[in-house]
Each structure stands twice: as structure tokens, then as C-alpha cells.
Amino acid sequence: MKKFHVLSASTLLLISGGFNAYSQEANADKPKLTFKPAGRILFDGALFAPNKNGFSDGVALPDIRLGGTATFGKFSGKLDIGYGMGKLSLKDVFIAYKPDAYNTFKLGYFVHQFGLNAATSSSMKPTMIAPTSDTFFNATGRNLGLNYIHDKNQFFFGLSAFASAKSLSNTPGQQGKISVGAMERFVWHPYYTDGNVVQIGFSSWYQSAEHTAETNAAGEIVASPGSFNYSANFPTKVDNVGLVQANVSNAKGVLKISPELVLAKDRFALEGQFYYMNVNRDHGYSSYNSKAAYGSVRALLLGDKQYGYSRGDAGLATPSPKTLECVLGYDYTNAYDSKAGVIGGISNDYSVTFNYYLNKYVICRLRYSYTNVRDADFTPDRHVNIIQARVMFKF
């Protein structure tokens, strides 16, 4: 006669508990989909003097954004939609893959690594408004492409292959011939601890000319002659008044280079960048050359006693809540090249900005600037004093 053994209740519980523990441990190794919403609201106000020189006092909502980031294991994706000055537009739209702590691949439409300003978004510039030089050189404009970043120990390296931003809104047929290029940013930071930062960097960029589709005499659709258009407005988001511009026709390609420097010691920091651009041209036209530079001295007046460092961006970190910062800035942008027939203007901008980081969501900024421009064929020589303030909510 066979004997049957009855397991006790305690034994069953022990087996069940072991199985559940094993199941939980197995599930813990599986990646989970997480989503983090993000957004921002900017409210600006500005006063101009002399007020009758093409500027109008006023207020504006220059940027409203809503989106978020989804993460699944080593993969992540971001979608950011912006609305400003009556226009709806796509901002960051990309997929990223991070195989380990030192390497990242990113594919989509976003700001690629070129120069120091790639380390901060448009609303996080310590001078409140991005330097005119960076805007004119389109150094941190968004492009559609693939980016690779390696960040380990004392070195940071970014490499991108991209198509012009026109590829986001125009098909290859509408462009006639797409504009493609490559850029890199190399950074050496032998010191990057809080309150002790030394960073030297160099960026380069080459891009083929932009085109549009047009119809020739035979009725065939062909690509127009190559061209590039560069421009920047006076440094304010309340009024759009042109400062410098260069419309370069018969272009073959553009080369840009930009060295950068960051130094920080305790409460003080220095940031600077130089830009040089050469547009090579067809049909015997002289090449177009432009150069620019900006520098800023930053000081923590209240709150933080040391500037932090952000490795992932290769730049100074955002100060902590309850910190007051003062930033003295200067920008020089030369879009004038008479030999190439481009009378684009020469500008100087002097500024002082106070930033109060109220908490992790709210930043208040107050900026005074004096800006002038001369030698431009699209605008008379002019100058303006601007006092502007911004309240930003960002999450």
C-alpha cells in the first residue's frame, strides 16, 4: 500500500515564499518603461531706449513647451513641442541608446555638440539671451541626424552626421539636393570638481550648401545654386529687430571652427568662445569669411559658494536654489566681408545679468544690455539700451 505524505502549512508557505522571491528577483532584472513629463513657461518684459529707434516696449511669452522623456532600459526617447510668438514648432525629438556609463548614441532632431553653448538649453543661458555670435553662426540650431558621445575621465568627445534643419519640413524633392554635414566637439577637462574647473575645447563643422528645387528653361526640376543664410536679432525676445545677417549665394560648403574655454574657482567663473566661418563659393565668387567671440564673467553673490560641473553636458552646472548670480558679458559679431560682397554688419553687445534661482522650478532674471551695429546694408547704424526681465517656470 502506497503512503502519501501531506506537506504542512508552514512548508507550503516556505516554498511559496521562495518561489515569489525568485519571481520578484527575475522581474527586477527586466527593464521597466518610465515616463517623466517636462515643460516650461517663459514670461518676458522689456524696455528700450531710445524708444523711437525701431523698438517698442512690451511683454511676451517667447516660449511655452510641453513634452517628456520615456526610458526603457538602455533606451530613451524625448518629444518636446514648443509654442512661442504665435508659432507651433517641434523642439527635441529623438531616440537615445546608452550601452554603458561612458557612451551614448542619439538619433533624431536636436541640438548637436558644437561649442560650449551646446551644454545649455536656450532658456538656461546665464546671460538670459544666447550670445549673438552663437545665434548668427547657427552653432546650436537643431538638425536632423545621428550623434555619438564618449565621456570618460578627463575627456569628452561628440561626433555627429546630420542633414540640414530644412529636412524636417521639406522633402528631398522640395530641396532639390539635401544639405548634409558632420561636426565634432572635443573637450579636455583636467579639473572638474566643484569649485575647481579647467576646461579647454575645440569644435569643427563642415556642411554642404543648401538648395531649393526650381524649374529650368526645359521644364526640368533641378536644384538651385547653393546658398547659406545667417542672421541674428537684437538680444531680446520681446521685439524682433534684425542686428546682423549674411545671405551668401553660389555657395559650395561651409567650414566652421570654434575653440572654447571654461575656468571656475569657488564663487567665480569665466566662459568664452571664438568662432570662425568660411563659405566656399562657385563661379568665381570670393569666399565669405566671418568671425565672432563672446566672453562672460560669472559670480555667485548669495547661496552657493562654488560652481558645480555637469559632466554629461561638459559645462558648468545650474546653481542651486536660493542662489543669486551676477554675469558680465560681452559679444562681438562680424558679418561684414566687402570682398565677398556681403555687407552684413558688425555688432557689439555689453550686458550685465542677475539670475536668482528661486527653487528647482522657478528662475528669475534681470538683464541690462547696450548693443550697437554698423556697416550693414539692410539697416542703418543704430544702438539701443535694453532693460528686460524674465520669470521662468521649468519642470
Higher pLDDT: 222 or 49? It is 49
Q: Which parts of 1-48 fold into alpha helices (H)?
A: 9-28
**pLDDT tens for residues 351-362?**
999 999 999 999
**Taking CA 139 as the corner, what is the angle to CA 135 and CA 143, rounded to the nearest 5 degrees?**
110
Overall average pLDDT of the 8-30 stretch: 53
Q: What is the percent of the chain with per-residue pLDDT over 70, rounded to a whole number? A: 92
What does the pLDDT read at residue 6? 45
Alpha carbon distance 79, 63 (integer Å): 16
Distances (CA, A) of 14 to 6, 10, 23, 24, 363: 15, 6, 14, 15, 55
Query: Does position 4 have pLDDT exceeding 60, yes or no?
Result: no
The dihedral sign for the CA sequence 360, 361, 364, 370? positive
Overall average pLDDT of the 45-60 stretch: 89
Overall average pLDDT of the 323-347 stretch: 98
**Beta carbons within 10 angstroms of residue 395's beta carbon:** 11
**Beta carbons within 10 angstroms of residue 31's beta carbon:** 10
Query: Does position 2 have pLDDT exceeding 70, yes or no?
Result: no
Alpha carbon distance 380, 90 (integer Å): 34
Higher pLDDT: 29 or 76? It is 76
Check residue 108 and give left, alpha or beta (phi > 0: left; psi -120 to 50: alpha). Answer: left
What does the pLDDT read at residue 100? 96
Query: Per-residue confidence at 36, pLDDT binned at 50, 70, 90?
Result: very high
Query: Does position 227 have pLDDT exceeding 70, yes or no?
Result: yes
Query: Per-residue confidence at 24, pLDDT binned at 50, 70, 90?
Result: low
* Cell (9 digits) for 130: 544666447
Overall average pLDDT of the 283-302 stretch: 97
Query: Does position 389 have pLDDT exceeding 60, yes or no?
Result: yes
Overall average pLDDT of the 25-50 stretch: 87
Alpha carbon distance 125, 280 (integer Å): 32
Alpha carbon distance 228, 245 (integer Å): 11
Q: What is the percent of the chain with per-residue pLDDT over 90, rounded to a whole number? A: 80
* Cell (9 digits) for 9: 502549512
